[in-house]
Amino acid sequence: MIFVFGGRYSGKGEYVMREMNVSEIAGYDAEYDRLKTAQAVRDLHLLIKKIMLDGGDPMAHIQRLIADNPDIIIISDEIGYGVVPVNKFDREWREAVGRISCYLAEKAENVIRVVCGIGNKIK
């Protein structure tokens, strides 16, 4: 598994397609059967939000996804910078994204931060 992260519109998807020879990236809202066979999935942060809004456990979902698709490339926006949200759900969501991102970084074969379309390999 490879974890790619960066700011919104920082060129993460384009980087993955160009540098990792990926022809198609699944959206976060794709059916699970699609995600478990996808080369890459974008918007992990929104997938986590969707799971939480549906009352699910996002960490368990991501762990299952990695087990089912160990070669997947997971792409996420960084959302932990800036002002702490006033809304309780948004704070919990932001925390979940941060904790799951740390988990993915630990488990990933490679971790890449993309800024302005340029990947910086961290791990």
Domain edges within the chain: 2-121
The CB-based long-range contact list for 59-63 (8 Å cut-off, 24+ gap) reads: 59/96, 59/99, 59/100, 59/103, 62/100, 62/103, 62/104
Which percentage of the chain shows pLDDT scores above 90? 95
CATH class of 2-121: alpha beta
What is the model's pLDDT at position 85?
A: 87
Tens of pLDDT, residue by residue over 70-90, are 999 999 999 988 888 899 999
Tens of pLDDT, residue by residue over 29-52, are 999 999 999 999 999 999 999 999
DSSP state of 107: H
